[in-house]
Structure 1
Amino acid sequence: MTRILAFGTYNKRKHPRVGIIIDGLRQHGCEVREINHPLTLSTAGRVELLKKPWKLLGFAADVMGLWIRLRRDAKRWIRDNGRPDAVLVGYMGHFDVLLAHHLFHGIPILLDHLIFAGDTARDRGASGLKVKLLRHLDRMAIDASSLVLLDTEEHKAMLRPGDHGIVVPVGASEEWYEARSNAHKRDKGIIFYGLYTPLQGTPVIAEAIRLLAKRGVTPHVTLVGQGQDYDAVHSRLERLENVEFIDWVEPEDLPRLVAEYCIALGIFSTTPKGLHVVPNKVYQSMAAGCAVITSDTAPQRRELGDSALFTQPGSSEALSEAILQLLENPSKLEGLMKDAERSSQRFTAFEITRPIVRWLQARHEFAVIHTSRITDQREGR
């Protein structure tokens, strides 16, 4: 049985990606243990550090405190259990992987590099030296790992030729599939949830809703979350009675809420990052049984095929027409919901972790052959 140690300051409650990978590896028969001291700072908070550098000292102190605990627990674990076959460093592990590289000499380190720090910072308005420093951090993290896990082919293409990487779609956790089974759908309700970052394209969503209202089309729309573009979106839509704003939903409650809606909205920006990703909300919404409308980008069309409705990135007019298509054609809406449900089975924890398991098996077989050859040479065979 392959023994894997999940390691780092990842926070499964806020960022479920690493939890999905852990679940999938366990379903494949791997023994996965965790050394995890979560960092409570969100993705948005980490990017905020770029705009307020004076907060870096406090952040560094928090990280160092967690690292002391991680180092202590790692040494104790190895003493009591021996060396693991591989170490998995969770999402947002740019710093953690440097510590893992120091602690686990000679052990394969898998880095879940879901985002490039420099790319994300640029997408959120940073520039110049800040982006250069974060790109250097990306490079240090990649160099410290044995295998980089990326979510799309576009992100994999950002690696250098000598880097080792595989594509592992984000997928959805079991809670989203369970929510679909227990859901009572609202009649043609529409939901969006996210951080209101430029990647999301929420101003495009807001304008599409306004265009529909001008035509007398007013389905119930729920917008969940807060972030950079929240004020602009709220000011555009606050007078529309069919629009409901929810600033925050606990992660445990989100699957059940989303599953109540017939239509879920993905991302619609034209930023470079927006053209490179398939957001987790798309996988989650499909698992919850929603018909998904999202931007027509290469990675999303490649992963989702005919199981989503695609619109031109950045176009409020195209988005409003796509929504209208589904609202005016119940059979099309129902068909797309069924397609999403069927397609979502390709993005369970078990399915998305197949490439990781294959890599681990190949690595193990290579090690066995290499050890055998060394033994033969020593014995003069």
Structure 2
Amino acid sequence: MITFGTYDAARHPRTAVLVAGLRAHGVKVTELNRPLGFSTAERVRMLRQPWRLPVLAARLLRCWAGLTADALRLRRAEGVPRAVLVGYLGHFDVLLARLLHPRSVVVLDHLVFAGDTAADRGATGLRVRLLTGLDRLATACADVVVTDTEEHRRMLPDPRKGVVVLVGASDEWRPPGVETHSPRVEPVENPARLAPLSVVFFGLYTPLQGTPVIAEAVRDAVAAGAPLRVTLVGTGQDLARTREILAGTPGVTWHDWVEPGELPALVAGHDVCLGIFSDTPKGLRVVPNKVYQGLAAGCVVVSSDTAPQRRALGESLELVPPADAAALAARLTDLCDPAVLRAARERAVRGRDRIRPQVVTEPLAAALRRRDVL
């Protein structure tokens, strides 16, 4: 089996999780990868702003030339691959994969629907229709389409092609010493005493993430006396509004950017990792990377109580109603109680092994076995 595409596993570890999981199932995986070098936000911005497309096209063609040469060399050496996995954000790459490997089973990791993502970020009309058409073309080129939630599988033109594979977290997110079994919850001398609670959020500040809700919750909890130390990482559409809400709130640290290799350690240094909190249609359909990564890093994860998040890891997460700043403020305040925090940590540990690459890729491995390509 080969992986194929312009994915960037350092910035977007989804493909790395799939590769690690398949290898753990005994699959020989050869990677053919020429990273495009654009972030998710840059790709979406280019698709929403057509005058930027020539830059995308020029770089894409250079990467494709290299991928084509790589694929032909590998075919001469090892023959036609039985399966080709097109990595994350492979809407265009899958077209080339289908052309180069007409007799192989092509698997597309369709973690992001371009039309749906653009609409969530404010695009309308023709742009959304064109991007939705791109989604349809990309999925039509694949024999198997991997999605991260059942809700996304149902959005496929042919849901029968879909296989739900949770995003999971790569081993880089598991710092040394993170427990893999339930810790013993020791009694505390004064369980009513509030202790300083360190909280981290990282993301692109898109509407689905609900960062204004986070800001309102932090502001109100701190104003009511909760001892919070909050780290906010990233930039994006809702950053200005988030900063406006938190203006004057003590204990908040801002980082526009943290290198991918440094982010796991930063997150692991906090008690709580925040997920998403919007009630947008997309926000109700996804389980974000940060939920899995925060859990793997040893944090208690607080996120919105939506069907896919509850289904995936509900017993291991601290869930609050979507778009409810008061409920989030109350939950963060509760977690300042050492006894409550320790109990939440015990729940989090129970889900940590369920997000390992080998576990989350079992549905994909099973689908490939049914096609007799493993």
TM-score (norm. length: structure 1): 0.91
Superposition map of 1:272-291 within 5 A: 272-291=281-300
Superposition map of 1:29-68 within 5 A: 29-68=26-65
Q: How much identity, in percent, do the aligned residues show?
A: 49
SS of residue paired to 2:207:
coil
- Residues 35-89 of structure 1: CA deviation (Å, up to 9, x unaligned): 1000111110111124422111111111111111111111111011111120000
- Residues 151-186 of structure 1: CA deviation (Å, up to 9, x unaligned): 00100111234641110000000011235539xxx9
SS of residue paired to 1:275:
coil
Higher mean displacement: 130-139 or 56-65: 56-65
Partner of 2:367: 359
Q: 2:72 aligns with which of 43, 61, 75?
A: 75
SS of residue paired to 1:189:
strand
Counterparts of 1:257 and 1:338, CA distance in 2: 21
Superposition map of 1:264-275 within 5 A: 264-275=273-284
Higher mean displacement: 158-167 or 304-313: 158-167
Query: What is the letter of the counterpart of residue 256 of structure 1?
Result: A
Counterparts of 1:180 and 1:189, CA distance in 2: 19
SS of residue paired to 2:257:
coil
Partner of 1:212: 221
SS of residue paired to 1:220:
strand
Query: What is the letter of the counterpart of residue 140 of structure 2?
Result: D
Partner of 1:173: 170
Contact 2:316 2:348 in 1 (8 A): yes
Counterparts of 1:19 and 1:180, CA distance in 2: 22
Q: 2:105 aligns with which of 90, 104, 108?
A: 108
Counterparts of 2:345 and 2:159, CA distance in 1: 42
Q: Tell me if 1:151 matches 2:159.
A: no
- Residues 321-355 of structure 1: CA deviation (Å, up to 9, x unaligned): 1111111x322211211221221201101101111
Superposition map of 1:131-150 within 5 A: 131-150=128-147
Counterparts of 1:223 and 1:237, CA distance in 2: 11
Q: 1:315 aligns with which of 319, 324, 337?
A: 324
SS of residue paired to 1:274:
coil
Query: What is the letter of the counterpart of residue 7 of structure 2?
Result: Y
Query: What is the letter of the counterpart of residue 363 of structure 2?
Result: P
SS of residue paired to 1:338:
helix
Deviation at 1:23, TM superposition (A): 0.7
Q: Which has the higher contact order (CA 8 A, sep 6+)?
A: 2
Query: What is the letter of the counterpart of residue 120 of structure 1?
Result: T
Contact 1:179 1:256 in 2 (8 A): no
Partner of 1:118: 115
Counterparts of 1:152 and 1:24, CA distance in 2: 18
1:297–1:48 distance in 2 versus 1, CA, 3 Å? same
Partner of 2:25: 28
Counterparts of 1:272 and 1:180, CA distance in 2: 38
Counterparts of 1:83 and 1:335, CA distance in 2: 52
1:141–1:176 distance in 2 versus 1, CA, 3 Å? same
Counterparts of 2:346 and 2:87, CA distance in 1: 32
Counterparts of 1:338 and 1:29, CA distance in 2: 32
Contact 1:20 1:173 in 2 (8 A): yes
Question: Gapped runs of 5+ residues in structure 1?
Answer: 368-381
Larger helix fraction of residues:
1
Deviation at 1:276, TM superposition (A): 0.3
Query: What is the letter of the counterpart of residue 213 of structure 2?
Result: V
Contact 2:233 2:258 in 1 (8 A): yes
Higher mean displacement: 153-162 or 342-351: 153-162
CA RMSD of aligned residues (A): 1.6
Query: What is the letter of the counterpart of residue 58 of structure 1?
Result: V
Higher radius of gyration, 1 or 2 = 1
- Residues 122-179 of structure 1: CA deviation (Å, up to 9, x unaligned): 0000010000000000000000001000000100111234641110000000011235
Counterparts of 2:227 and 2:343, CA distance in 1: 22
Q: Tell me if 1:325 matches 2:334.
A: yes
SS of residue paired to 2:11:
coil
Deviation at 1:235, TM superposition (A): 2.4
Q: Find runs of 4+ consecutive structure 1 residues off by over 4 angstroms.
A: none
Q: 1:347 aligns with which of 336, 340, 355?
A: 355
SS of residue paired to 1:313:
coil
SS of residue paired to 1:251:
coil
TM-score (norm. length: structure 2): 0.93
Question: Gapped runs of 5+ residues in structure 2?
Answer: 180-194
Counterparts of 1:58 and 1:75, CA distance in 2: 26
Counterparts of 1:170 and 1:162, CA distance in 2: 19
Contact 1:210 1:237 in 2 (8 A): yes
Q: Tell me if 1:14 matches 2:5.
A: no
Counterparts of 2:165 and 2:198, CA distance in 1: 31
Partner of 2:265: 256
Counterparts of 1:162 and 1:91, CA distance in 2: 19
Contact 2:196 2:227 in 1 (8 A): no
Q: How many residues are aligned here? A: 359
Counterparts of 1:360 and 1:119, CA distance in 2: 28
Contact 2:153 2:159 in 1 (8 A): no
Partner of 2:191: none
Counterparts of 1:179 and 1:220, CA distance in 2: 24
Contact 1:202 1:233 in 2 (8 A): yes
